[in-house]
Amino acid sequence: MSKQLTAIIIILILFLILGGVFGYFYFRSDSSDTTPTSNPRPTVAGDAGFPVGEQTGVRSNEQGVSINTNDNIESSDDADSFIISGVGDSLTAPRRLVNIPVAGMTVYNNIIGQTVVRYIERETGHTEDHPIDESAPSRVTDTTIPKVFNAVFGKGGEAVVLQEFTDEINSIGTVYAEVVKAKSADAPPTAQILGDPNLATVVGSLEGSLLPDSVQSVAVSPDGKSFLYMDASSDGGVALVAPADRTKLDKPVTAFASKLSEWVPDWPVSNTLTFTTKASANLPGFMYITSVANKSSRLLLKNIPGLTAKMSPDGQLVVYAENVGTGFSASVYSVAKDRSTRLSLRTLPEKCVWSKKSGSTLYCAVPVSVPAGIYPDDWYMGFTLFNDELWRVDTVSGETTRLSTTGNQDMIKLILDDKEENIFWINKADSTVWTLQLLN
C-alpha cells in the first residue's frame, strides 16, 4: 500500500470520527431543548412571586433571589392556602399621572363629575389637583412647606396633616392644615390652565396649626372627618383623636395608651381603631383593635415576627405579612373565626388596598421576585426596591387575577376611586403618581 493511499485512509477515518462527535452533540442538544420558538412561555403560578399550590415559604437560591418552597413552613390544620385560579387575558397598561415627587394623595369627584387626584408636592408643600382625563394639573394652594415627606388627607382633600423634616437632626414637624380658597377679588388667577385657554382658577392657601413635635404617626377616619395622632414620649405612646377642624385641635380625646411608643395606627372602620407594633424582622409583632366608643382594646395578632397588617373596611378580615427566613409571606386573618389563611401571593399589606364594595377583595402589588434579605426592614430602609405586578384576589374564594405589569415600579399607598373603576398608587422609587383603569 502506497504512502499516499495510507494518508487518504487516515484522513477519511479522522473525518468520520469528527463527524460522529459533531452529530452526537448536535442531536443531544436538540433533543434536550424543549423551549417553543414561536409561542411565549405561559404564565404559571410561580410568576410574580406566587408559590405553586401550597408551597408558601421562601428560601434563597445561589443567586440570592428568594424562590418558593415550603421548607420553612410547617403544615397545620389551622392554616389553609389559596391557589391561583385565574390570570387576566387582557392586561391594561398603567400610566403616569404626576411626574413630580409627591408626599401623599387622595381621590375625589369634583362638581362636574370628574375623578380628581389631589396631591401635595414633596419639595414645596403646594397642593395640586389633576383630573385623570385632563393633561395638566391646576394649583390649589401655594403655601410653601418645604421637605414634606408624608401627607394624609381628610374627606375631599379639604383637610390634610403634613409631616416635614425640620432643621433639627432626627426631628419631624407635623402640621394640621385646611384648604382655604382665595377670593377672586383678592388674588390674581393662577398660571395653571385647564383645557380652555380662557379658563383659570384662583390659588388658595393652607391654614392650620402645628401639632406637638412628639407626633409620629397619623391616620384618618373612614369618613375623613377626624384624625388620629400617635403621640410618643419616654413614658410610652398615646393615641389622640381630634375632629378635622382647626378650631378644635386643642381638645383631642385619648383613644389608646401604652407603655410602648412605637405603634402604627390605622382607622379602618368608623368605630374601630387598630394599633400594630412597628415591624422588624427580629422582633415579635402585635396588633390590637380598639373601640372608639368605649376605648376598650383587644389583642388580635401576637408574636408574629416582622408583623405588618391592614384591616378590611368592614372590620372582618386582616391581611398581614410576617418574616419567613430571608423573605416574607402573606396571610388573611378572620376576626370572627379567629383563623389565619395563607395567601398564594407574597406581598406586604403596605402594597394592598381593600375593596369597599366587596369586603373580601384585595388589590395588591406583588413583587416579581424578592431578593434574599431581612424583611420588612430592608424594604423600609430602601436597601431593596421591588418590581411589582398588580393582582386582585378574593380572599374567600381564592380567585386571583393578574391585572397589569407596572414596568419596574415599587408600588405603595394604593387607593381606589369611589366607583372602583380606577386604582392609583405612588412609585416608591421616585414618589410619582400612577393610575390604572380597572377592567371588570
Q: What are the sequence ranges of the domains in the chain?
A: 1-34, 68-437
**Residue 19: per-residue pLDDT:** 53
pLDDT band at 36 (very low <50, low <70, confident <90, very high): very low
pLDDT digits (tens, 9 = 90+) for 257-276: 999 889 999 999 999 999 99
pLDDT digits (tens, 9 = 90+) for 135-150: 899 999 999 999 999 9
Architecture of the structural domain at 68-437: 7 Propeller (2.130)
**Residue 251: per-residue pLDDT:** 85
H/E element holding 178?
strand 172-180
Omega prior to 376 cis, within 30 of 0: yes
**Residue 81: per-residue pLDDT:** 43
Alpha-carbon gap, residue 424 to 434, rounded angstroms = 6
**Residue 256: per-residue pLDDT:** 92
Tell me what the pLDDT averaged over the chain comes to.
Answer: 80
pTM for the model stands at 0.77
- Please report where in the chains the cell 390570570 appears, as a residue: 87
Within 10 angstroms of residue 131's Cβ, the number of other Cβ atoms is 20
Alpha-carbon gap, residue 282 to 323, rounded angstroms = 9
pLDDT digits (tens, 9 = 90+) for 351-380: 999 999 988 999 999 999 999 999 999 999
Is residue 46 pLDDT above 50, yes or no? no
Q: For the ranges 84-88, 415-419, 436-440, which has the lowest average pLDDT?
A: 84-88
147: alpha, beta or left? (left if phi > 0; alpha if psi -120 to 50): left
Could you tell me how far CA 134 lies from the centroid of its own chain? 25
Cell of 143: 403655601
Among the listed residues 306, 305, 297, the one whose alpha carbon sits nearest the alpha carbon of residue 254: 297
Alpha-carbon gap, residue 114 to 236, rounded angstroms = 45
**Residue 420: per-residue pLDDT:** 95
pLDDT band at 76 (very low <50, low <70, confident <90, very high): very low
- CB-CB contact of 7 with 29 (8 Å): no
H/E element holding 10?
helix 3-32
Query: pLDDT exceeding 90 applies to what percent of the chain?
Result: 63
